[in-house]
Structure 1
Amino acid sequence: MSILFITIGIIFAYLIGSLPTAIWYGKAFFGLDVRDFGSGNAGATNTFRVMGKRAGIIVMLVDILKGWTATNSAFFLAYFNLIDHQDLVLYKLFFGLAAVAGHIFPVYERFKGGKGVASLLGMILSIQSEAALLCILVFLVVFLIFKYVSLGSMTSALAFPILLCLPRFSPNQPIVVLFAFALFALVVITHQKNIVRLLHGEENKAKIRIRRR
Structure 2
Amino acid sequence: MNVGITGQAVGLFAVTNVDDILILSLFFARGAGHRGAAGRIVLGQYLGFMAILAVAVAAAFGASFLPGAVIPYLGLLPLVLGLKAAWQAWSAHRDDADGADGADGEVKEGGGPNQWEVAAVTFANGGDNIGVYVPVFATAGAGGTSLYAVVFLVLVGVWCVAGRFFATRPVIARTLGRWGHILLPLVLVTLGLLILVEGGAFGL
TM-score by length of 2: 0.32
TM-score by length of 1: 0.31
Q: RCO greater where, 1 or 2, for CA within 8 Å and sep 6 or more?
A: 2
Give the structure with higher Rg (CA).
2
Q: Which one has the bigger helix percentage? A: 2
